[in-house]
A and B are shown apart, each in its own frame.
Chain A
């Protein structure tokens, strides 16, 4: 038995792309007026692809072109500080006015990104680093359409955790100086569960029964019905309540028939209803 049917929102991919977006337009300026775009790559790629893309004819003259930056999603972990109610839900409108999309609140996760800056010249590296650090105080917010299906647009904080200079300039002459900076970031993300269609309660019946000797009689004594008019109205449309009260004790002595509409749930006296995260109703 699987925990769920297939669903995939591509949220983590969005986070990776969002993170990359912050650094994909970096340039360095040389004294001779040359402006150099700094290439950025996601580090984890198929090795055969790298070989074929960068050295297709096996005639690559140079070792590597610098400066460049590489980043990778290295880890992610649950963030207990941002925990939300486990049974909390939120909904979104659908084309069908009788239904709404519904999903449980997301699970908060921290995503750890490593960004590495590799240059030949220290000056080039410093230009890149100084263009990054001032924006993180220590966090930087990016607004993204996190979950298009549910219309979730959210500010994503990205926190700069550490900057480490890794300049290898000692040792034998046969090894060139390597100028590298490693930056670690935490992206405060959310992971969303499956989206489900849920019917909207637009009509409520409240049936009253009479009890005798501690047991309820089968016939319905009185009924209160309230419904939305028109039934197809959406929240932003113009609509009104339509109420009806029927009693079997009036002059006609009518028999109240059972409810024929689809019953989403039937509640009884003594039941407790969870209406929202902060509200419960007990039926008397």
Chain B
């Protein structure tokens, strides 16, 4: 049996438009300013085998307001941990962005970006942090009055792998210059006092 033809709560364009306007207004009033940084393809071929493009760049941004869903509890995830590779900050965050605002701001500038994309970055100036989009949920909340009005974006702190950063946003572009921990130089200096190094035969192999 079909639903009542007299109560069309899932097919009411006026109410859908009202909810969308309220959503936009709420985020506009109580949201936060974010920068959307699209991942730009490099001029080199995408690695079809491993599904990656190490030469990706980030060279532009679009400002857009979003609703931060971690306001009560702070960032989720493991937080700051010490791993085999020194300090790792595994903060996770969730944001909501109005679908219609996304079209107005981002799709207008990048026609091929029709929704927030996994792999793109979000710069969060208030916390001076950069997040990478891991997943975009498009069905939560579930079709209010018959239509979805927001994208819910699941992010994790960006793991930078020497992608070129020339976005014009200070917090992003200075990532390569931030303090990095490494022992390479100190190990070399200390080993020079007792390891038999020569330039042509660094490890006494008599091969090179």
Contact = CB atoms under 8 A, between A and B. Distances in A.
B64 to A, nearest CB: 19
Given A32-B44, A43-B84, A174-B135, A65 B195 contact: no
B18 to A, nearest CB: 32
Contacts of A54: 86-87, 179-181
Interface string B140-181: 000000000000001011111110000000011011001111
B180 A20 contact: no
A41 B92 contact: no
Contacts of A17: 187, 190-191, 194-195
Nearest to A115: B84
A32 B55 contact: yes
B194 A145 contact: yes
Contact of A63 (B157, B183, B190): B157
A64 to B, nearest CB: 5
A14 interface: yes
Nearest to B136: A173
A31 B87 CA distance: 29
A145 B196 contact: yes
Contacts, number: 197
A210 interface: no
A68 B86 CA distance: 10
B118 A173 contact: yes
A116 B183 CA distance: 15
B50 interface: yes
B153 to A, nearest CB: 11
A146 B148 CA distance: 70
Given A30-B55, A56-B179, A142-B195, A61 B184 contact: no
Given A50-B87, A61-B129, A62-B159, A24 B203 contact: no
A55 interface: yes
Contacts of A25: 184, 188
Given A36-B162, A123-B52, A142-B204, A64 B85 contact: yes
B134 A174 contact: yes
A148 interface: yes
Contact of B85 (A41, A51, A144): A41
Interface residues of B, number: 57
Given A62-B157, A123-B50, A142-B204, A39 B184 contact: yes
B134 A123 contact: no
B130 interface: yes
Contacts of B178: 60-62
B30 interface: no
Interface in A136-159: 140-146, 148, 153, 155
Given A30-B162, A63-B91, A65-B180, A18 B85 contact: no
Given A61-B128, A153-B196, A174-B156, A24 B187 contact: yes
A226 to B, nearest CB: 41
A20 B191 contact: yes
B125 to A, nearest CB: 10
Interface in A30-73: 30-32, 34, 36-37, 39-43, 45, 47, 50-51, 53-56, 59-70, 72
A18 to B, nearest CB: 6
A253 to B, nearest CB: 63
A91 B55 CA distance: 58
Given A47-B82, A54-B86, A141-B204, A119 B161 contact: yes
A192 to B, nearest CB: 14
Contacts of A64: 85-89, 159-160
A32 B50 CA distance: 18
Given A41-B181, A66-B159, A121-B161, A32 B42 contact: yes
16 contacts: A20-B191, A32-B42, A32-B55, A39-B181, A41-B86, A50-B87, A54-B180, A61-B128, A62-B175, A63-B158, A64-B85, A64-B86, A65-B180, A123-B47, A141-B204, A144-B195
Listed from nearest, the 6 A-B pairs whose CB atoms lie closest are A39-B182, A173-B135, A120-B161, A63-B157, A143-B196, A70-B84
Interface of B: 42-44, 47, 50, 52, 54-55, 80, 82-92, 118, 128-130, 132, 134-135, 154, 156-162, 171-172, 174-175, 178-184, 187-188, 190-191, 193-196, 203-205
Interface of A: 14, 17-18, 20-22, 24-25, 30-32, 34, 36-37, 39-43, 45, 47, 50-51, 53-56, 59-70, 72, 114, 116, 118-124, 140-146, 148, 153, 155, 172-176
